[in-house]
Each structure stands twice: as structure tokens, then as C-alpha cells.
Chain A
């Protein structure tokens, strides 16, 4: 029989319970505003209402945006950067695998660029693309692309020889083998790595929004700082946590639904 702690509902319930305790504890410790900790970390009952103020906008003048717009813009940035990196790295990885030579010459370069922290690209991106979406997308892309390309090349090497033999034996051309055997073989592995790199991409875009850009979730937190508004800071932090968690779950869902197989 399935053990109780393996049940989905029970696991969900435990998570829910621990969060409830955290929030209750947090609320109770806010002793009529006398607790110095809760002056810096106001409890949810204080920062959540900010969300519902009808014409609430963050920022000044033409740069002001609602919370929802901030969430959307950050999500669009991180998801487009990751999608581009995913597709790009598979294409480049496949091309580099076509010849032993290209791999010999290019993989060392990739291996040196891959460990560079995405945030290090911010100054360069600002110079090239200015302040805007392209900068953010570029940073996410740079943070993920090189690692994924190296992973793609490694995954291609790991495709079982018998798969390729079998497909050739069934009359598959070179192109068909790439399309119908090699790509499906590597997709799950590369997508898993994409998902693991999501946190890095997410942090990169937030850091970019805090340092260089003027909109998005990172900017909400920074605006809170500039206005000494701890409600705003806390609200931003919570939304960042919850949205990041949600996206990770969505990626996990996509993986289980579309890239569930394994070749070993």
C-alpha cells in the first residue's frame, strides 16, 4: 500500500499547514507595531492590501506600472529568454555535432563562457541594447544558452548507437535519423537542464531589473527601498517567491507531459 506521506494530497496538505503556521506566527509577533522585526518585515495583513488598492501603481510618471504589469513583464522576459536559449542551444548543439572538428574548436570556448554569471552581462547588455526588454532577454539567454549547448552535445554523444543503427536499418536517411531519433532522444535531458537553470535565469532577470532596468518585479522591490516602504518590499519579495515557484511547477508539468521518457 502507498504510504501516507507518498500521497499527493497529504504532501500538499503538509506544505499548506507549514505555511499557515508561518503566517500565523508572523501575524502574532506583530504586537501593535512595537516589534522592531515586524517594522522591517510587516506581516501579510499589512502588505497584502497594497495589492488590492485599485489604482495602485509603482514608480513615477510614465514608468509607473501596476503589480500585474510587473509580473507579466518579468515573466515574458524570463520565458522568452529561456525559450530562445532552449531552441538555440539545440540547433547550435546539433550543428556542432555534425563534425568532430567543430566540436574540438568550439566547445572549449563554450566551456569558458558557460560559467560566467548572467548578471555579469548586464553592463554589456545595457550598452548594446539600452534599457529595455531586449537587455533582460539577452541576459537570461546568455545565462542559459552556453550550458545548454554543452549539454546538447553531451546528450547527442549519449544516444545509444543501436537507436541509430536501427533507424538506418529501417531505411532512414541521415536527415530523418537526426529528426526522428537524435532529437527525441536528447529532448528530455536538455529540457531537464533547462528547468534546473530556470532559477538562475529567474535570478538573473530580477537582478537586471534591480540594477539597470526600470520595470518588472525586481524594480518593485527597488522602488520600495527608495521610498522606505517596507510593505512594498515584502509584497515584491513574496510575489517573486510565489511566481518563481509556480513557473517551476509549470516547467515540471511540461516535462512530465511532453518529455517524460529516458533513453537508458
Chain B
């Protein structure tokens, strides 16, 4: 898949409740290109605009100024080719785990026997096959996150946007799912953009790391972390970079 998503001088502000322009920009002059097979990780303090940037990249929000191009055409509307795992609140409470994961297929009018294998595979991948009959209110926060992930994995997309998908998981599950993402990226040549609070995760998974900071937020730092020493979490370079980044970011 030769996909390409490009932000050109994108800025974003929100309107307040009265519909007036809120002069405060959340994001300012973002220039970013996501090429085929990229794995971009975004770091930044809480409330900087990481989720906002991801929503812009998925076409869920419109840039206030600047343009986003997807495969050389202006990104005008939400598309299944750019799949998003939202930070919160996206499982349909009236559907059980299996039905939630199958929702995309259901929308297309496919029959259950045609998509069952695919759905089961996604559920296996996130380790929730045995919970497929539970409803969202019966799940823990981390399980909900995994269902959302499984739902996005089940559909064929070119780019996967992930908004802190592992924030409520224990370290073991987190590592398993990190491996899963890397193997999916390798096998299906999907590009990925991952927002995270976890510096280690950002270095380990990313091929390119972006540091978002300030009010309005700008891209403070953009570095190539694809080098093999950054895929060993105990290597000298890894630990040095991790320390450097952690001191740069003041997490609240």
C-alpha cells in the first residue's frame, strides 16, 4: 500500500460555546508527512493537542488553516482507509465484544459467516477471544481499549491512528500488544501514528518521534528513531534518549 498523508501548515482553534472564535490556537503550523511504512509516535504533555492532531489526521476535525492531503488529494471527509482508535468512549454499549468488533462488517451488510474468521482473529490478537460475549459495561478499562483496537485491526486500512491505546494496560499486556503492532506493520505494511505518554514506548515503536509542546502546540522536536539501537530498550543510546526526552517533557 503506497499511502501518503501530509499536513501542510495546519493550525487549529476551537470555537467557544457562543460560536465565537476562541483566539487561542491549540495547534500552530504543523508540518508532518506520514509515508508508507512509517511509524510515527507523538509525545507531549497532557492537554497539548495530541488527540486534536490525530483527529485532524483522520478527517474528524477540519484544520482552521492549512491543508491535509491524503494520497495527494485534499482530505475532506472521514474514510475507512485511515482507521482511528479513539482515546475513549467508542464501544457501542448495546453490542457485545464480538458484535462491536464486527460492527464495520455489519455496516457494509456482510454476512456473519463471511467475516467471523476475521473477527475471531482480531479478538485472538488482543487476547479477548474468551470475552467475546461480554458487554462493554462488563469490561475493565484496559479490556475496552483492546476491543477498540481489535475493531480497527479487523478492517483493512492503510493508516492506523492510535490515541493512547495502551494507557490502562499492565506492562505484560502492553508489551504483547506493542509486538502485535510491530508485526502488523511489517506484515501489512500499514503506516501508524501512535500518541502516547510513555517515552519508552515512543522510542521503541517509532521510526520517527515527534515532540509536541507549548501553547499553541508546535512540533518542538522531530527525530529519527528507526536505528536498530532504539529497538533494544536496554541499549546505551536508548536509555540516553529516554532520559533526555523525559527531562524535556514536564508531565503533569
- Point out residues on A near B: beta carbons under 8 Å: 160, 162-163, 165-173, 176, 180-181, 184, 261-263
Q: From B77, B107, B135, give the contact of A172 (CB < 8 A).
A: B107
Known interface pairs A172-B107, A176-B107; A166-B155 also in contact (CB < 8 Å) = no
Q: Number of B residues contacting the other chain (C-beta, 8 Å)?
A: 25
Known interface pairs A168-B78, A169-B78, A170-B151; A162-B90 also in contact (CB < 8 Å) = yes
Contact status A169-B83, CB under 8 Å: yes
Apart from A176-B107, A180-B106, A184-B92, 16 more pairs, CB < 8 Å: A165-B60, A165-B78, A166-B103, A167-B103, A168-B77, A169-B78, A169-B84, A170-B104, A170-B107, A170-B151, A170-B155, A172-B107, A180-B103, A181-B92, A261-B135, A263-B93
**CA separation between A102 and B39, bound complex, in Å?**
46
List 28 contacting pairs A-B, 8 Å CB cutoff, sorted by A: A160-B89, A162-B90, A163-B89, A163-B90, A163-B92, A165-B78, A166-B86, A166-B103, A167-B107, A168-B77, A169-B58, A169-B78, A169-B82, A169-B83, A169-B84, A170-B103, A170-B151, A171-B104, A171-B107, A171-B108, A172-B107, A173-B107, A180-B103, A180-B107, A181-B92, A184-B94, A261-B137, A262-B93
**CA separation between A160 and B91, bound complex, in Å?**
11
**CA separation between A168 and B86, bound complex, in Å?**
13
Contact status A261-B107, CB under 8 Å: no
**CA separation between A170 and B135, bound complex, in Å?**
20
Cβ–Cβ < 8 Å partners of A169 in chain B: 58, 60, 78-80, 82-84
A103 to chain B, nearest CB (A): 16
Does B88 interact with chain A (Cβ within 8 Å)?
A: yes
- The CB with the most chain A CB atoms within 10 A, among B60, B77, B82, B155, is that of B60
**CA separation between A176 and B89, bound complex, in Å?**
20
- The CB with the most chain A CB atoms within 10 A, among B88, B90, B92, B137, is that of B92
Q: From A165, A171, A262, give the contact of B80 (CB < 8 A).
A: A171
**CA separation between A166 and B93, bound complex, in Å?**
13
**CA separation between A172 and B107, bound complex, in Å?**
6
Residue of A nearest to B100 (CB): A166
B91 to chain A, nearest CB (A): 9
**CA separation between A170 and B109, bound complex, in Å?**
12
**CA separation between A170 and B119, bound complex, in Å?**
14
A92 to chain B, nearest CB (A): 23
Cβ–Cβ < 8 Å partners of A180 in chain B: 103, 106-107
Known interface pairs A162-B89, A176-B107; A261-B94 also in contact (CB < 8 Å) = yes
B115 to chain A, nearest CB (A): 12
B157 to chain A, nearest CB (A): 9
Contact status A171-B155, CB under 8 Å: yes
Residue of A nearest to B105 (CB): A170
Q: From A166, A172, A176, A184, give the contact of B90 (CB < 8 A).
A: A166
Cβ–Cβ < 8 Å partners of A162 in chain B: 86, 88-90
Cβ–Cβ < 8 Å partners of B78 in chain A: 165, 168-169
